[in-house]
Each structure stands twice: as structure tokens, then as C-alpha cells.
Amino acid sequence: MAQAATKIGVVGLGTMGANLVLNIASHGFGTTGFDPVPDKVADLAKAVGGIGGSYVSVGSLSEMVQAIEAPRIVLMMVPAGPIVDQQIEALTPLLSKGDIIVDAGNTDFNDTIRRTKALEGSGLLYCGIGVSGGELGARYGASIMAGGPPEAYAILEPILSAIAARHEGEPCVAYLGTDGAGNFVKTIHNGIEYADMQMIAEIYGIMRDGLNLDNAAMSKIFSRWNEGGLQSYLIEITGVVLAEKDPETGKDLVDLIVDSAGQKGTGRWAVIEAQKLGAGATTLEAAVSARSISSRLQERAQAAEVYAGLTATQPEFAGDDAGIAELEAALETAKIIAYAQGFAVMQTASKDYGWELPLGTIARIWRAGCIIRSRFLDDIAAGYDKGSVANLLLAPDFVERVSKGEGALRRTVSRATLAGLPVPALSAALAYFDDYRRARGTANLTQGQRDLFGAHTFQRTDREGTFHHKWPAV
């Protein structure tokens, strides 16, 4: 039986859970930990002791519940999916009115909404919070996107604030809305993460296959870009990955890695939700699809053989300073468009789900701790501070930046396309931009077709109302 009353219980002591315990305990909050694998509990107890924190390890959920002071906070850091439901089912009869269950995993926000509804009337407060930053973030400061009942957040806030990353002293945590709001925002974060990574990979592809640069040269370029407008964690680690040697062979490690990217699903969720909301996030979609295509290694090898005879135009990229600066500008511009898409999805969801997502605050809490942390998020926060816009591409600062950079993006996509170098995310960003800024598009033709074959009706440009035309029989 546990001895001391602690502030919070953590269920699931895998890498993320254990690091969260260390983080919470290091800030003076007594923590109780439970994991079905007892070894992990023992190791963790030693580690927390080592940093002078207060920690109780228990062998069951009921012991955990007794070891936490009321109102009890039980934070689950377990794999998303049925295990979360199992833990809730086991915890519910043990907890009392006013106690809080927190799911801190990468959970589908639809599940959080469902679980919140299922617990209605139980007196328990259910929260889904998105935690970004991987192992190091969990240990030393994560970006935390909180959702759930506001009264639960008021109780959780001191702990979440303490364990959050800091940007110039400001904790990267915020309450974003009821039920699934936190998990939704984390999902969009991951969709943007995919887009960011894919666009960087495409620029790498241009440098490698269009300019024949070696990894050391590319690493230097990315490290230099990390000093400028592209400054971000992902650009920084790109420089590091490109410079790394394989300890066994001495070769560049990046060249030995199979080009088939994994995915756990959150990027895919982001684009599925974007589609459901009718807020096409084409750059995010291209990034998710690129990962899927990358995993079809055998088919790609076969296609490479079948189409080996095709001769693409010689790449027209320039490797001098101006040429590299053009790639930098192209990436910066496409990045603005990708983020504009991600934020537009959140803006639409905010209305549909009644969350009132604070977009500027979201940009602010992504400035440190999370995977997409960057200088650029400061600009987005500042953009929203100046007033609400339907899309970041309409915010005056971004209008100026995109107007300046679109030529570089257009030339980069064109050169890559002519040379047969795939740039699915960069070209999706450009196409979205061109589509978005065209006052009269081509959907009039689509509407005509729909009305012809299905009497789906259309609106006219010259008068109000809904019309159906008697088209010639075809």
C-alpha cells in the first residue's frame, strides 16, 4: 500500500510516461506511477530519487487512486486506442466526483469526444491533451495542447505549466477548448510536421539529384538556413542528419537509410479531418501520400526500370549562392502556404465543433518544445495578434512575404518538374496558392456538368437564386 499522498498519478511508464514522471516530480509535485511491467517502476523510482523528487510506485490502479490526494489527477500515457478505453473502464469505479482523468497520448480527437460523452453524468472530468516534443520534451519541457472541461484545466494548470517548455520564459501550454480540442490541435500539428518534413526532403532531393551536392555541403547549407528565416528544429536536425557518419562503415549514415518513411497515423488523421471539414490541406495531403508511396519500394523499383528510357530535361538549378538562396526562398514560401492550410483547418474546426480555438495562442505554444518549433511561429502569432483573418495568406505581413517569394517557389517547382524530380508538397503548396488567389476559377464548368448529368442545379453570376437548365440530351 502506498504511504504518502501525492498530487498526480501517471499510468503507463514507457519512454514518454517515465520522462513525464521525472519532469513532474522534478518540479516538486509528488507523483505516483503505475505500469503493468514492474521492472520499469523500480528503475523509475531510482531515477526520481536521483533528482530528489517524490515518487511512489504502486502495483495496481486501486493503490494508485489511494495514493493521490483529492481531487485526484490520473494521467494516462498509454498507446492510443483500446488500451485507453480499458484504463478508463478500470479507473472509473475507483475514482470519485471531481476527479480528473487525463489522456496525454496521441489520441484521435473523435475518441476523446466519444469518451467525454460516455463519462458525462459520472462526475469525473475527462481531458485529452496533446503533448509534443518526444522523449526530451516529456522530460525537460513539452508543448502542451490542453482540452477538456475548463474547471479541470484550472486544477491541472500549475502542473502543466511547470512541465511545459518555455519560450522566452512563457510556458508553452494553453487551454484550447472542450472535449477533443487539444487532441485535434495536436493532430494538425502533426499534419504540419509531415508537410514541413516532406518539403525539406524535396529540397534535399533537388540538391542531391539536381545539383549533385554531397551530404557535407547540404548539411552546411541547412545549418546556415537555420540562422535565417527558416530557423527551426526540423531544419536544424536536417543539418545534423546529413552530417552524421555510420560508426561501422564510416560512410554517410543518411545514404545507408532505406528511403521508406514510416507513419503512426496522426498525419493521416489530419488530412482526413481536413477533408471532412471541407478545408483542403493539399500540402499536408501530399506529404502523407508521399510517405505512403515511399513505402512501396518494390513497385517503385519496377517503375524505375519500366520508365528508365524516359529522358527528362537537364535540371536547370544553379548551385551558386543565388541558386541556393532561391531554394531557401521557395521553401520559406511553401512553408507559409502549408501553415496557412493547417491553421485554416483549425479555424474551420473551431466553428464546426464550437471550440473557439485561439489561433495566435496555438502558434505561441508551438514556439518551443514541439517538433515544428520555429522562429516563423512568432510571425504567425504576431499575424493573428493584428486581427483575425480567414486565412493566413490574407494577413498583410504574409501577403508581402508570399508576394516576394512566390517567384522562387514557381521557378523551383517548374525546374524540378521539367527535370523529373518529384516535388509533390512544394507543387501542392504552389497550386493551392494559385487556386486560392484566383477570383474566378473553373468550378462553373463543374457545376454545368453536374447540372447536365444530375440536375444538381447551379447559381448564376447575373441574378439571385438556384437554377436548373434544360441541357441538350447527350
Binding site for ligand 6PG (CB under 6 A): 106, 132-134, 190, 193, 262-264, 266-267, 370-371
**205: Cα separation from own chain's centroid:** 23
3-state class (DSSP) for residue 257: coil
Partners of residue 436 on adjacent β-strands: none
Per-residue cell: 374: 520555429
Residue closer to ligand 6PG, measured from CB, 370 or 409? 370
Task: Determine the Cα–Cα distance for residues 67 and 292; give it in Å rounded to an integer.
Answer: 46
For the annotated catalytic residues, the residue numbers are: 186, 193
Residue closer to ligand 6PG, measured from CB, 357 or 370? 370
Write down the least CB distance from residue 140 to ligand 6PG, Å: 13
E strand spans, 242-326: none
Buried b (16+ CB within 10 A) or exposed e, 27-42: eebbbbbbbeeeebbe
The C-alpha angle 212, 215, 218, rounded to 5 degrees, equals 80
Rg (CA), the chain: 25
Residue nearest to ligand 6PG (CB): 132
Write down the least CB distance from residue 10 to ligand 6PG, Å: 17
**Intra-chain end-to-end CA distance of the chain, in Å:** 80
Per-residue cell: 294: 515511399
Asked if residue 110 lies in contact with residue 183, where contact means CB atoms within 8 angstroms, the answer is: no
Residue closer to ligand 6PG, measured from CB, 79 or 98? 79
Asked if residue 423 lies in contact with residue 413, where contact means CB atoms within 8 angstroms, the answer is: yes
Cell 516538486, located at residue: 28
Task: Determine the Cα–Cα distance for residues 225 and 328; give it in Å rounded to an integer.
Answer: 7
Task: Determine the Cα–Cα distance for residues 407 and 326; give it in Å rounded to an integer.
Answer: 9
Residue closer to ligand 6PG, measured from CB, 266 or 350? 266
Question: 320, 325, 331, 338: which is closest to 409 by C-alpha?
Answer: 331
Write down the least CB distance from residue 456 to ligand 6PG, Å: 38
